[in-house]
Amino acid sequence: MKKTIYLSVIMAAVMLLLPLGALEKGVQTKPVAALTVIPDAEQAATDTVRLCDTETDKLTELKTEDYLFGVVAAEMPALYEVEALKAQTVAAYTYTCFRKAENADKSYDITTDSTCDQSYITEEAAKQRWGEKAEEYTKKIKEIIAEVSGYMVLWEGKPALTVYHAISSGKTEDGQNVWGTGYPYLKPVSSEGDRLSDDYISQVSFTAAELEKKLSSEIPLSGDKTEWFGKAELTQSGTVTEIELCGEKVKGARIRSLLDLRSSAFEVELSDNTFTFTVYGYGHFVGMSQNGANYMAKQGSDFKEILTHYYKGCTVEKIK
């Protein structure tokens, strides 16, 4: 007997898959708290960054361009289009300025914890990762950082909370749906290029016993296996907000966390005592899709067009 429970967005009948390279996971699985008073862009702009390594508790002060190199190298494949990498750089810089202002009373500006901040690697580690492409990619990223130096994503003259992720479901998500905190510029927008990525769909399977063990901390599973999963509540972007599990409502994000799924947009199929989860996209879907940015760049969009598409109603300006 085979039973399928559909939990995600309706898929296109025909979908082309184009190789776009290996993707990083993206950042910010949870948001920072909103500032009571966000400083104007001129006040928020920064030349240095105090970086706290959360693994070693070591504090390092870096030039902003050196920190951004480490973020861009860690967060986006260097083979991506120049305009996509520019968009990533400006988003990373804006996010850094936002966090530095928020942490004004702390000994650090930002951390290496990618669950609430941005990933970061040293230039040496980046070169080791890139291998024979190290010289080419180092030059490429440093030139990009210099070219967009000072540019910031602004909402009403203040730095925006420019979160980003790897691949959306084809439409980005409302921050309110993911974190319970809404921002006027973090609203769903189309990102159709994501559907063309080789990494758009992923699958992971569990036996009934494995699934029962992984989910036991949330709710004991019992009864007919075909009835374990019931009705799901979805957002317009396909994110599972809640799903019935053995008659109890469980957050889709909790299922994602317990099963280590790539996103909360999924569907599950039971066949021969095995549950297979088909997952769409990668990340939390809020803000800029890195894969979508690369697709837009391939279609001729520049970094400003990419950023203003994903951060709805924002402007991109160069700050002195």
pLDDT greater than 60 at residue 17? no
Residue 126 within any structural domain of the chain? yes
pLDDT greater than 50 at residue 24? no
pLDDT-derived band at 15, boundaries 50, 70, 90:
very low
* Cα-based distances in Å from 178 to 32, 167, 265, 269: 13, 15, 12, 25
pLDDT greater than 50 at residue 28? no
Residues 51, 137: one domain?
Answer: yes
- What is the CB neighbour count within 10 angstroms for residue 58? 10
Residues 194, 304: one domain?
Answer: no
Residues 187, 275: one domain?
Answer: yes
Residue 32 within any structural domain of the chain? no
Residues 6+ apart with CB under 8 A from 39: 101, 158, 159
The total of structural domains in the chain comes to 2
Which residue has better confidence, 27 or 180? 180
Residue 29 within any structural domain of the chain? no
pLDDT at 311: 98
* Secondary structure class of 269 (helix, strand, coil): strand
Element at 191 (helix H, strand E)? none
Buried b (16+ CB within 10 A) or exposed e, 10-21: ebeeeeeeeebe
Residue 149 within any structural domain of the chain? yes
Tell me what the mean pLDDT of segment 82-86 comes to: 98
Amino acid identity, position 197:
S
Residue 35 within any structural domain of the chain? no
Residues 143, 173: one domain?
Answer: no
Tell me what the mean pLDDT of segment 152-168 comes to: 97
Supply the mean pLDDT for the chain.
89
Q: In this structure, are residues 253 and 263 in contact, taking their beta carbons and an 8 Å threshold?
A: no
Picking from 30-39, 43-52, 84-93, 224-233, which range would have the lowest pLDDT averaged per residue? 30-39
Residues 47, 158: one domain?
Answer: yes
pLDDT at 37: 67
pLDDT at 320: 79
pLDDT at 219: 86
pLDDT digits (tens, 9 = 90+) for 107-150: 999 999 988 899 999 999 999 999 999 999 999 999 999 999 99
Tell me what the mean pLDDT of segment 178-192 comes to: 94
Give just the sign of the alpha carbon dihedral 70, 72, 74, 77: negative
Q: Among all chains, which residue has been given the structure tokens 């291998």?
A: 131
Max mean pLDDT among 3-7, 46-50, 217-221, 223-227 falls in 46-50
Residues 156, 173: one domain?
Answer: no
pLDDT at 220: 87
Residues 272, 304: one domain?
Answer: no
Q: Which domain holds residue 135?
A: 41-163+287-318
- Please state, in angstroms and rounded to a whole number, the distance separating the CA atoms of residues 27 and 36: 23
- Please state, in angstroms and rounded to a whole number, the distance separating the CA atoms of residues 16 and 295: 13
Residues 218, 171: one domain?
Answer: yes
DSSP conformational letter for 263? -
Expressed in angstroms, the distance from the first to the final Cα of the chain is 65
Q: In this structure, are residues 223 and 245 in contact, taking their beta carbons and an 8 Å threshold?
A: no
Q: In this structure, are residues 269 and 228 in contact, taking their beta carbons and an 8 Å threshold?
A: no
pLDDT at 115: 86
Residues 6+ apart with CB under 8 A from 279: 201, 202, 203, 204, 261, 262, 263, 265, 266
Tell me what the mean pLDDT of segment 171-179 comes to: 95
- Please state, in angstroms and rounded to a whole number, the distance separating the CA atoms of residues 212 and 214: 6
- Please state, in angstroms and rounded to a whole number, the distance separating the CA atoms of residues 90 and 140: 15
Residues 156, 174: one domain?
Answer: no
* Percent with pLDDT over 90 in the chain: 83
pLDDT digits (tens, 9 = 90+) for 193-248: 999 999 999 999 999 999 999 998 888 888 899 999 999 999 999 999 999 999 89
pLDDT digits (tens, 9 = 90+) for 268-316: 999 999 999 999 999 999 999 999 999 999 999 999 999 999 999 999 9
Residue 31 within any structural domain of the chain? no
pLDDT at 34: 52
Residues 153, 171: one domain?
Answer: no
Q: In this structure, are residues 265 and 272 in contact, taking their beta carbons and an 8 Å threshold?
A: no
Residues 138, 178: one domain?
Answer: no
Residue 34 within any structural domain of the chain? no
Q: In this structure, are residues 306 and 87 in contact, taking their beta carbons and an 8 Å threshold?
A: yes
Residue 102 within any structural domain of the chain? yes
* Percent with pLDDT over 70 in the chain: 88
What is the value of pTM for the model shown?
0.88
Residues 50, 90: one domain?
Answer: yes
pLDDT greater than 70 at residue 35? no
